[in-house]
Structure 1
Amino acid sequence: MQNIVVVGGSIAAVTAAETLRLEGFDGSITLLSQESVAPYTRVPLSKGALAGRESLEDIFLPSVSGDVDLRTGVRADSLDLNNRVVHTNSGSIVWDGLVIATGARARRLAPELREFVVRDHRDCDELRDELVAASSVLVVGGGFLGMEIASTLRQLDKSVTLIDREPPMQRLVGSIVAARIRDVALEAGILFHVDPGGVELFGEPGSRPLGAKTSCGRVFEADLVISAVGDVPNVEWLAGSGLKLAGGVCVDSRCRVRADVVAAGDVASRFLHSGNELRIPSWTNAVDQSRAAARALLHGDAAPEYVPSHYFWTEQFGLDIKVSGPMAPDSELETDEGWNSGGSSLLTWGPPDAPRRVLGWNHHLRPAQLKRLTRNRSGLLRAT
């Protein structure tokens, strides 16, 4: 293997390229990014970047090694597996090793409208301009992104209403922790509305949404409407390639599609024994999975399998929340004195000597320490 092409300009793509070099690969690496700017981290987009505290230059990732050929403004249009060629808007590129890291894009509720989302730096630029004249904002979606956007908007002194199909954050951290997060958000001035039937955005085609109508007929209007309703993996360019696409690019336990093709990050989907496909769209998963994918591309079966830590974090409404481990039922939740008194806390789910999930609530514990506390069901430490 002498020529590896990495398709994507995300943290997963950059990490894969760096890992290939760290693992001793000395052939050519070409990194193709559809965006016209150098790779950057998306983490601050819903926080400092949206608030105007951080510019694009502030969120650039460290420059890729000089021996990696970074090509910006290059969009992958199709993939020819038989001849090992990526066809792009600027020509065709031959490879003998391929990393698919094309990420995902924001899911939209009303493509016919000028729907505002927060996915890339251009979205932030546009929203900052729009927020100047807006006093009220409607946020649709109460996951990490929606709640972080709502938190930033309150810092900007905007009136914020947030709508979701279910109580915000509940699916991600359980009902008990989510309820406390919402209490803090309520104190910050957020108005919540839950409608299991969802909402429909309304407005004139080609114009910005004027508001949202819930399934029960209630209408919410605002100066600005922002959608934060999940993402869609970027796999259209792979149509007709012969790759299995089910909720993303299907990979095995080592992030391989086949011996010479791997995938990582928001675009990768792993087949589970249950028959379902699992895609983990998080920053930590993108980094860890791309490292595993790069090693598998070089070392095959000798590379370790990828075991996700299910680590994520969020900063919203003055809270610093870090979580390691897969979702566990609230019946297994163990609280501590800090939680009961409203202070810094470390929550665990599962047996005290082998917790399946750990959550730090304004806790000083570092991410690596938090991950080490999370054990699998056999009691063995998870990979960190």
Structure 2
Amino acid sequence: MDNILILGNGVAGLTAGDTLRRLGYTGAITIVGDEKHATYSRPALSKAALAPGPEMELNFLPEATHGGTELLGRSATTVDPEARRVTLDDGTVLDYEGLVIATGTHARRFTDSEREYTLRSLDDATALRERLSSAPKVAIIGGGPLGMEVASGAIGLGCEVTLIHPGTPMEPHIGPQLAGILTEVALENGLDIVDDFVAAVAETPGGMCVRLSSGQEITADVVVSAAGDIPNDSWLADSGLLIDGRLIADERCRVRPEIVAAGDVVWQQGARGLRRTPIWTAAIEQAKTAAAALLQGDEAAPLSYHSYFWTDQWGMNLKVSGPIPDGSEEPLVVKGSLAERSAVLHWPGQGCAASLNMRMPIPRLHKLAASVPAEV
């Protein structure tokens, strides 16, 4: 194999390219990215966009070591797997012997209004920061990590913020105990949380109106949609690579022997069924596995890694290692105090550990998650 094409210049694409070189691949590498910017930390966007200060401080990743040809500001429109050929949006045709699909996702939107903002790209972050600097009234749809981080930052900028989410914000991502703590802190900081589903969103002469399933209407100057993402896979519609509309890869991240996939775009079978894993650490580990599988085939090790998640919001830092605690087991307080909202927690029956507002190296957190009850 002497010609590998990587579609996607996020952390998955960059990691795949660097891993290929680390494994001894000496052939050509071409990377296509739809953004014109160098690779940056996407999870840090919400912090950079809404942090106080005159300038937005971005966290760009270290320069790639793969030495490949980068085609930025372009995206794939079609692929012919039999001919091993990809066509780009500017008409460029690229042949390949090996293909890495790491095209990521785009934010889910409710309208085409300029008053509806999302936060998925560097350009999104720039636009949102500029708009929130005037402290508008904000309605945020979605109480996952992104929605809560944006809410935290917006309130810090002086905005009046309503967050719309069915149930307890963050619970599907970090479990009921930790979600309850972050929600308490959010309320103490002035966040208005509405427990409901969104029925419709519309632009009005004075701003935006969010109509809820209950019939209640929430008005705001702007809406920030943080209600999930959509895989960037529409360009694969006629390729024969999708199964029931999904790009599905095996345990070595292979779609076909010469095509692998990594990052938010790909579905894999796991303990909880077929699902995507749109977190930073998953994208990196999938990319490493995918690169190895492209070169080594069945000799490559299957995907295996410690799941890891972190968030910064409301002056709190939270790191979680392992599966999401489901509430069936009370956590062991290994260090600190839940009452003081500063603790190291362990769910030994679920293989999970968390550090809440307490310094703890990530390797030690992983070790605790995998251990039987023990002291740190």
Classify the TM-score, shorter chain: over 0.9
Q: Which residue of 2 aligns with 1:382?
A: none
User: Which of 263, 266, 290 is 1:265 aligned to?
Assistant: 263
1:52 deviation in Å?
5.9
Alpha-carbon distance change, 87 to 199 in structure 1, aligned in 2, over 3 angstroms: same
Alpha-carbon distance change, 137 to 192 in structure 1, aligned in 2, over 3 angstroms: same
Q: Which residue of 2 aligns with 1:297?
A: 294
Q: Which residue of 2 aligns with 1:244?
A: 242
Distance in 2 between residues matched to 1:54 and 1:64, nearest whole Å: 29
Q: Which residue of 2 aligns with 1:361?
A: 356
1:86 deviation in Å?
0.8
Answer whether contact 1:233 1:247 (CA < 8 A) is retained: no
Q: Which residue of 2 aligns with 1:227?
A: 225
1:132 deviation in Å?
3.2
Distance in 2 between residues matched to 1:349 and 1:266, nearest whole Å: 27
User: Which of 187, 206, 216 is 1:218 aligned to?
Assistant: 216
State TM-score, norm by structure 2.
0.92
State TM-score, norm by structure 1.
0.90
Q: Over aligned residue pairs, what C-alpha RMSD do you find?
A: 2.2
1:239 deviation in Å?
1.0
Distance in 2 between residues matched to 1:113 and 1:125, nearest whole Å: 14
Answer whether contact 1:254 1:292 (CA < 8 A) is retained: yes
Counterparts of 1:19-168 in structure 2, within 5 Å, are 19-51=19-51, 53=53, 58-65=58-65, 67-90=67-90, 91-111=92-112, 114-168=115-169
CA shift digits 1:165-192 (9 cap, x unpaired): 2210111122222111111111111111
Answer whether contact 1:333 1:350 (CA < 8 A) is retained: no
Q: How many residue pairs get matched?
A: 370
CA shift digits 1:311-330 (9 cap, x unpaired): 11000011110111112331
Distance in 2 between residues matched to 1:53 and 1:288, nearest whole Å: 34
1:25 deviation in Å?
0.5
Alpha-carbon distance change, 318 to 248 in structure 1, aligned in 2, over 3 angstroms: farther
Q: Which residue of 2 aligns with 1:373?
A: 368
Distance in 1 between residues matched to 2:245 and 2:53, nearest whole Å: 35
Answer whether contact 2:347 2:369 (CA < 8 A) is retained: no
Distance in 2 between residues matched to 1:18 and 1:150, nearest whole Å: 36
Answer whether contact 1:168 1:182 (CA < 8 A) is retained: yes
Q: Which residue of 1 aligns with 2:278?
A: 281
Moved more, 302-311 or 47-56: 47-56
Counterparts of 1:175-214 in structure 2, within 5 Å, are 175-195=176-196, 197-204=197-204, 210-214=208-212
1:43 deviation in Å?
1.9
3-state DSSP class of the match of 2:328?
helix
Alpha-carbon distance change, 189 to 247 in structure 1, aligned in 2, over 3 angstroms: farther
Q: Which residue of 2 aligns with 1:313?
A: 310
3-state DSSP class of the match of 1:220?
strand
Answer whether contact 1:247 1:277 (CA < 8 A) is retained: no
CA shift digits 1:131-174 (9 cap, x unpaired): 23343211111000000001111111211111112210111122
Alpha-carbon distance change, 146 to 8 in structure 1, aligned in 2, over 3 angstroms: same
Moved more, 96-105 or 41-50: 41-50
3-state DSSP class of the match of 1:326?
coil
Distance in 1 between residues matched to 2:55 and 2:278, nearest whole Å: 24
> In structure 2, what residue type is equivalent to 1:4?
I
Answer whether contact 2:133 2:157 (CA < 8 A) is retained: no
Distance in 1 between residues matched to 2:269 and 2:295, nearest whole Å: 22
> In structure 2, what residue type is equivalent to 1:59?
N
Alpha-carbon distance change, 158 to 56 in structure 1, aligned in 2, over 3 angstroms: closer
Answer whether contact 1:11 1:286 (CA < 8 A) is retained: yes
> In structure 1, what residue type is equivalent to 2:295?
L
> In structure 1, what residue type is equivalent to 2:325?
A
Distance in 1 between residues matched to 2:54 and 2:236, nearest whole Å: 35
Distance in 2 between residues matched to 1:37 and 1:328, nearest whole Å: 37
3-state DSSP class of the match of 1:58?
coil
1:262 deviation in Å?
0.4
Alpha-carbon distance change, 246 to 324 in structure 1, aligned in 2, over 3 angstroms: farther
Answer whether contact 2:241 2:255 (CA < 8 A) is retained: yes
Distance in 2 between residues matched to 1:328 and 1:187, nearest whole Å: 25
Gaps spanning 5+ residues in structure 2: where? none
Gaps spanning 5+ residues in structure 1: where? 380-384
Distance in 1 between residues matched to 2:66 and 2:331, nearest whole Å: 49
* Percent of aligned pairs sharing the same letter: 38
1:331 deviation in Å?
2.3
> In structure 1, what residue type is equivalent to 2:290?
A
